[in-house]
Amino acid sequence: MNRNHFLEMIEQSNIANHKEYLSQMLRPAIDILRNTDAEPRLGCSRFGGAPDLPVGSEWPTYEKKPYRFLGQINFTEIASTERDLPSKGLLSLFVADDNYDDDDGYLEVFEDGYIHGIYIPETTNLETIMPPHSDIGKTTVIEFSPTIDIPYDEYQLKDWPFDEVQSDIYTEIRDSLHKSSDYLLGYPSHCTLAYDPTPGEEWIPLLTVDSDDSLEWCWHDGDKLMIFIETERLKNLDFSRLRADAG
């Protein structure tokens, strides 16, 4: 889906009178698609499993506990001219795993440090780093499909202009923009939150992922995990401070 196709679709819908308003709300997004037939290779984009980090890297920890590997994104695999992402490099993302017997050092999903990012500008000296435990879990190769996005719901707009019937049409159109519930950029989608999860005006969504039993992902009782980054940090390729919400 691109901008022109979207505007044509709006023109043919029962919310055509809001075409100009919606055109101002458009954001680029990148759908993330699972390729279950592909075998993971060193440096490729994937969810789960074990990360590829610079040779000699140590597994990241928080409060003396190992993070859990979420996935990695090789930006050279994303073919899109309309994006705010790096054009190259590998980003590995980790989450503070709460599957421990004690609560010492437990981090809530919205706290600083819950998400840990490692950005590797050059991917020529990598090795797969095994986690501290023996079971690395299932891994899935991922691919990318450029699209566009509009706000998920009324909490992400200052003035929601749609009545009940129009809201249903709006939701159908918004859903049609995505091939997957996992995506980069765009607007954060959620299941149960009654507010905009974006931390502040200087923040933008980096990644939105759904719960997934096969990957042992369960965010807020089966909802979605949303990861955010400050605009200036993204421009500077600085992934050292990421925030998250789930619901």
Query: pTM for this structure?
Result: 0.94
Average pLDDT, the chain: 92
In the chain, what percentage of residues exceed pLDDT 70?
95
Summarised one tens digit per residue, pLDDT across range 153-174 is 999 987 889 999 999 999 999 9
| 3-state class (DSSP) for residue 94 | strand
CA–CA gap between residue 158 and residue 151 (Å, rounded)? 11
Q: Give the residue-averaged pLDDT of 209-220.
A: 94
Q: What is the pLDDT of residues 89-100, one digit of tens each?
A: 999 999 997 654
Non-local CB neighbours of 221 within 8 Å, separated by 6+ positions:
none
List the structure tokens of 241.
Answer: 């401070």
Of 95, 114, 118, 125, the closest CA to residue 211 belongs to 95
Q: Residue 245 phi/psi, 5° resolution?
A: -150, 165
Cβ(60)–Cβ(54) below 8 Å: no
Q: Residue 81: pLDDT above 80?
A: no
